Amino acid sequence: MTSSRPQAALCIVLCIVVHSCSSPPAPLELPPVDLRIGYEPMPPGIAAGADAAADAAPIQVTVEVLAVAAALPGTSVQLQAVVIESESGRPFRGASRLPADCRWLAGEDAAKWTAARPSMQSHELQVRCSAPAVIVPGLTAVVVPGALQMPRMRLVRAGNSLSIRLESTSDEGSEYVELRMPLTDEHAVLFVPRAAPHLAGHAIALRRDGEPAADAVAAARAAAHHEGPTSDATPAAWRLAMAAIGASNRRAALLALTQPLGLSRLVDLLLIADERALITITNALGKLDPAAPELAWRIETAVWTALLPRLERDDVTPAMQACMRRQFGTLAAEPAALRLLIETARDCASLGASVRDENVHALADRHPARRVHAHGWLLANGGAVPDYDPLAPEAERRAALRAHAPPEPAAEDER
């Protein structure tokens, strides 16, 4: 009888351990995405092949941007594409610059995956943002999923289908991939892979919702015929930056645009950027609304995101590489990590704090090059660890880092 108590206690401990091991992972912690939906008059070339008849009924489509922990099943975008068109305007049935693992779910595949969504946990799927888009004859609905590395969508009604043109832009030019969603389907999903901790990528889910309200159609028509960024309300500095031609003119105009906003990282970049980078930066800024809130952060995000493909290909000038070292330290050689920091930061200050944390963390790395670059960046930015030498023996480095580390909070007395 006396042995029953230890056995009972052991059973209780085992139950607690099993319960803690079986608890679900923490939800995905991701900042919100600024999903923007605008409207443009349909270009004549597209209108000729689309259903632009006045008696065609408008439709409403809900657009959702999702973060997913597992890749979506489906067919490759390149196999589903109606046409792939380069910037030159000549269509070709070839390889797209979109990631090879992009997937397009339509018909039964989209319906099956959508039906399974309610059973997914918060660590498997999260809705980052959603907004309605109105598909009106004669207009193009433009879906811009914030600062994520996802293509723009241009939605146009084409007969009994919804034409979905994916627009991706890089320093090599623009590309359009056209997909179709039959109006008899209720759902379609685009999956774009993105390697990140606990994250397989993002998805844009489209859901057909029937006819929109009359005021929504009127608002879409009014937005499409607004004068836009060339109106008198656009700041003069912005108009000059968009219209500048030549390296010297572009550089001066972009500096005049960024210096008043206190974007010191971009000022350093613009002072040494080559003409190719200046053109890329101008094109990236041309897609922003100068009247949007948090303009400084939008500009910084757009610029660094536009230049990351060149950094990934190691296709930057020595002066630009030195600038990246000055601004990001050891992250200058890690474009994937830098991209993740840009996507998850909430503003310019949080990006700077994340860069500092990454460089402090790199001081304990086993690779001397990472330690040297991180130490150099911290020295230049007032965050050096006292008595730390990146090339000293490991014991000395650890001692300096331990002395610099903040003290751990004292544990509460057990009663």
Q: Are 305 and 221 in a shared domain? A: no
Question: What pLDDT does residue 147 have?
Answer: 53
Q: Are 312 and 204 in a shared domain? A: no
Task: Among 362, 390, 409, identify where a domain stops.
Answer: 362
Assess if residue 303 is contained within a domain: yes
Q: Are 208 and 245 in a shared domain? A: no
Say if CB 66 and CB 187 are below 8 A apart.
no
Q: Are 107 and 132 in a shared domain? A: yes
* 180 three-class SS: strand
pLDDT per position as a tens digit, 179-206: 899 888 999 999 888 766 677 888 899 9
Say if CB 96 and CB 81 are below 8 A apart.
yes
Assess if residue 174 is contained within a domain: yes
Assess if residue 351 is contained within a domain: yes
Question: Would you state the torsion angle of the CA atoms of residues 217, 220, 147, 313, taken in this order, to the nearest 10 degrees?
Answer: 110
Q: Are 202 and 283 in a shared domain? A: no
Structure confidence at residue 410 as a pLDDT band (50, 70, 90): low
Instruction: Indicate if the alpha-carbon torsion angle 140, 141, 146, 149 is positive or negative.
Output: negative
Average pLDDT over residues 152-163: 87
Q: Are 203 and 242 in a shared domain? A: no
Question: What pLDDT does residue 324 have?
Answer: 94
Place of tokens 């309300």: 233
Assess if residue 20 is contained within a domain: no
pLDDT per position as a tens digit, 17-54: 444 455 556 655 565 567 788 888 876 555 444 544 44
State the alpha helices, DSSP H only, in 117-226. 214-224
Please give the single-letter amino acid code of residue 347.
Answer: D
- Kindly tell me if the per-residue pLDDT of 7 is higher than 80: no
pLDDT per position as a tens digit, 129-141: 888 999 988 888 9
Answer yes or no: pTM beyond 0.95: no
pLDDT per position as a tens digit, 313-332: 989 999 999 999 999 999 99
Q: Are 97 and 220 in a shared domain? A: yes
Gyration radius of the chain over CA positions: 26
Give the integer Cα–Cα distance in Å for 362 and 374: 6
Assess if residue 279 is contained within a domain: yes
Structure confidence at residue 243 as a pLDDT band (50, 70, 90): confident
Sheet holding 83-86, edge to edge: 35-41, 139-145, 152-158, 161-170, 173-182, 83-86, 91-92
Q: Are 189 and 300 in a shared domain? A: no
Give the rounded percent of residues in the chain with a pLDDT score beyond 70: 77
pLDDT per position as a tens digit, 37-96: 888 887 655 544 454 444 578 999 999 988 888 888 888 887 777 666 654 444 444 556
**Domain with 338 in it:** 236-362
Q: Are 217 and 281 in a shared domain? A: no
- CA angle at 134 for the pair 132 and 140, rounded to the nearest 5°: 120
- Kindly tell me if the per-residue pLDDT of 232 is higher than 50: no
Assess if residue 295 is contained within a domain: yes
For residue 199 the two structure tokens come to 């994250």
Assess if residue 391 is contained within a domain: no
Residue 148 DSSP code = S
Please tell me the total count of domains within the chain: 2
Give the integer Cα–Cα distance in Å for 321 and 300: 18
Task: Among 175, 206, 226, identify where a domain stops.
Answer: 226
Question: What pLDDT does residue 66 have?
Answer: 87
Q: Are 171 and 61 in a shared domain? A: yes
* Closest by CA position to 163, among listed 43, 49, 41, 39: 49
Question: What pLDDT does residue 289 have?
Answer: 83
* Closest by CA position to 110, among listed 202, 35, 176, 204: 204
Q: Are 85 and 164 in a shared domain? A: yes
| Top-confidence residue, 171 or 254 | 254
Assess if residue 392 is contained within a domain: no
Q: Mean pLDDT score of the chain, rounded to an integer?
A: 80
Say if CB 237 and CB 159 are below 8 A apart.
no
Task: Among 177, 206, 226, identify where a domain stops.
Answer: 226
- DSSP strands (E only) in 138-280: 139-145, 152-158, 161-170, 173-182, 187-196, 199-208
Q: Are 214 and 80 in a shared domain? A: yes
Cβ neighbours for 156, distance < 8 A, ≥ 6 positions apart: 42, 46, 50, 135, 140, 141, 162, 163, 165
